[in-house]
Amino acid sequence: MPTETKNKNSSKRKKAFAIVDTKVGNYEKHPFFVRKANEAKALLKATGLPKKLAKTK
């Protein structure tokens, strides 16, 4: 699986509603979200992406 968090550096960030707070946890490895991600991965494997995407790519 490709690694995530290839985020842009702060100076290039677009204006957002959210308040950036370093106290907000990183839930990447939380079992709840891991399970949810695995379920979504299985679904996506079965369905693929919309055909329109395939044409535009």
Encoded tokens for 55? 């044409």
Backbone angles phi, psi at 20, to 5 degrees: -80, 125
Q: In whole angstroms, how close is the CB of 29 to another protein at the nearest point?
A: 10
Q: Is 11 in the site for another protein (CB under 8 A)?
A: no
Residue with tokens 């985020």: 7
Q: Is the dihedral of CA 21, 24, 25, 28 positive or negative?
A: negative
Q: Is 54 in the site for another protein (CB under 8 A)?
A: no
Binding residues vs another protein (CB under 8 A): 1-2, 4-5, 7-8, 10, 13-28, 30, 32-34, 36-37, 39-41, 43-44, 46-47, 49-51, 53
